[in-house]
Structure 1
Amino acid sequence: MKYSIRQLEVFLAAANTENITRAAESLSMSQSAASSALKELEQQFDIQLFDRVGKRLQLNELGRLIRPQAEALLAQATELEVALRQHQQPGNLKVGATLTIGNYLAVSIMARYMAEQPGAKVMLDVENTATIARKVLNFELDLGLVEGELQQSELDVIPWRCDELVVFCSPDHPLAKRSQQPLSDQDLKEATWILRESGSGTRQTFDRIMSGILPELTVLLELQHTEGIKRAVEEGLGLGCLSRVALEDAFRRGSLVPLTMPHRNTERRFYFVLHKQKYRSAGVERWIEMCKENY
């Protein structure tokens, strides 16, 4: 075999950092050793994997082509090492989750996973749907848990569980007195709204729900965090629309009031997102199993 695992590690670290010095630091190597490993890999096959722009290394077309295969091979090699040491038990994971899932569902799954796999660690990255998709595409995450629908040819988007969005207001809002009566389109158009930002799965679903009247809605604030939206609505600044998962405690306490609009479909799904060319380790498979078991 003309290449080594170490050479592939250097290649992938350089692809991620776009700098050989930072790549070497991430692998606890000297800069000269990392440079030599990358140079030897290219010379052995008489190829060039990067365009060198000053000190920056930018993947060229060939580099981008072999990157997924190198990622998959390295992941398999890592899992083999773990299996030899830990009798095939799932290991560490890098999981991305959108805000609703990350704040209200993923933490309990993470706790159960680490309890089942002593010594295993889970890095949880909480971002919006667009950012999670980008990081999965860039091999920065092992898998993503998202609220929004995605159409990316390089991603596997697998349905997980059902969810629904709920419109809500403060107990002092005029519409709270009509909480048992369905909202009309006129009610929706006359309201002031506190919403998630564009790029989030929740906002994507909200825009679909409000199809036909969306341009007529008055949006006062766009916030990146569900708790900020809930607080703004509690203060009487307007109506909100979030996942029922994020609102159940507030509804039980009575600090927020659910409103109904049966003429509009508020259902949606949560999804697993994985790169089609990334090797699926035992840890990834076990995480998905736990998600399905818990919810």
Structure 2
Amino acid sequence: MRYSLRQLEVFLACAHFQNVSRAAESLSMSQSAASTALKEFEQQFDVRLFERTGKRLRLNELGRQLWPRAEELLERARELEATLQAHGDLGRLKVGATLTIGNYLAAGIMARYMAEQPGARVELEVANTAAIAQGVLNFELDLGLIEGELNHPDLEMIPWRSDELVVFAAPDHPLTKASGLSDDELRSATWILRETGSGTRQTFERALSGLVPELNILLELQHTEAIKRAVEAGLGISCLSRVSLSDAFARGALVELPVPHRSFDREFYFVLHRQKYLSTSVKRWLELCNSLPERST
């Protein structure tokens, strides 16, 4: 074989960081050793994989084609290494989850995964849909669990489970007296919403299509709990996943506001890179996710 797995690691680190020095640091190598490994890798096949501008590296077309294949090969090599070291079939896993899923569903899945395989490492990144998708595209995440819908040629969207957004308010809010909110009442309300780019915001805007430009949006916040606290304080009404509101509803801290003429149903999705190798770890995580009971209706 004319190349080594270490050379592939250097190539992938350079593709990710677009800088030899940062790539070397991530691999605990000296900069000169990383530069040499990358140079030898290219020279062995008489190719160039990067365009070089000062200290910055940018993948050229050949490099972009090689990237997912190198990722797959290294993932298989790591899986083989874990098996040879007798640590079992499950190993390190990097999962991205949007806020609702990360805060209310992913922790339980992670606990089950790690209980099955003592010593297994799971890294969970919680961010909005756009950020998780970018992490999967850049091979920084093995898979994503997202609330929003995406359309990208390199991403595979797999429906996971159904969800529902709920409009809600503090118990003493005037709108709690209504049996169902009309469009006029939705327009007149003061709203506290998730930020643009989140799956929750995407579903909300689809559900209230035609009304969004006329809404009075007081605050846009990135965190579900911050929105719930603001609504409890009487700053306005909001719309979040029922998954995130069940405890507050049970305590009576928040109250659902029915909007019967609008549909707030949506799907949670798995998002995977089409060219990424599905390791045993990823497959087991998907199985655990699919074993969760659906929400009650």
The one-letter amino acid of 1:162's match is S
- What amino acid is the match of 1:3? Y
Partner residue, 1:126: 126
Contact 2:79 2:89 in 1 (8 A): no
Moved more, 45-54 or 21-30: 21-30
Shift of 1:30: 2.1
Q: Deviation of residue 241 (structure 1)?
A: 0.1
Cα deviation digits, residues 70-125 of structure 1 (max 9, x gap): 11111111111112223651111000000000000001111111111111011000
Give the Cα separation in 2 of the matches to 1:281 and 1:66: 19
Q: TM-score, normalised by structure 1?
A: 0.97
Alignment of 1:3-18 (within 5 A): 3-18=3-18
Match of 2:150 in 1: 150
Give the SS at the match of 1:86: coil
Aligned twin of 1:82: 82
Map of 1:274 onto structure 2: 272
Whether 2:32 is the aligned partner of 1:32: answer yes
| Aligned residue in 2 for 1:192 | 190
The code of the aligned residue for 2:79 comes to: E
Secondary structure class of the residue paired with 2:291:
helix
SS across alignment from 2:165: strand
Q: Does 1:232 align with 2:239?
A: no
Q: SS at the partner of 1:67?
A: helix
Displacement of 1:55: 1.4
Alignment equivalent of 2:287, drawn from 277, 283, 289: 289
Runs of 4+ in 1 over 3 A off after TM superposition: none
Displacement, 1:24?
1.5
Deviations 1:131-172 (A, max 9, x none): 000110010000000000111110010000000000000011
Match of 2:260 in 1: 262
CA distance in 1, matches of 2:47, 2:207: 51
Please give the alpha-carbon distance, in whole angstroms, between the structure 1 residues aligned to 2:189 and 2:13: 50
Residue 49 (structure 1) shift = 0.8
Quote the Cα distance in structure 2 between the aligned partners of 1:39 and 1:191.
62
Q: Which residue of 1 aligns with 2:104?
A: 104
Note if contact 2:146-2:270 (Cα within 8 Å) is conserved in structure 1: yes
Would you say 1:207 and 2:205 are equivalent positions? yes
Query: Is 1:45 the equivalent of 2:49?
Result: no
Cα distance in 2 for residues equivalent to 1:254 and 1:184: 24
Query: Which 5+ residue runs of structure 2 have no aligned equivalent?
Result: none
Q: CA–CA distance in 1 between the matches of 2:201 and 2:87? A: 44
Query: Where in structure 1 are there 5+ consecutive unaligned residues?
Result: none
> Structure 1: how far apart are the matches of 2:22 and 2:48?
20
Tell me how many residue pairs correspond in the alignment. Answer: 293
Quote the Cα distance in structure 2 between the aligned partners of 1:24 and 1:189. 55
Q: Secondary structure at the match of 2:85?
A: helix
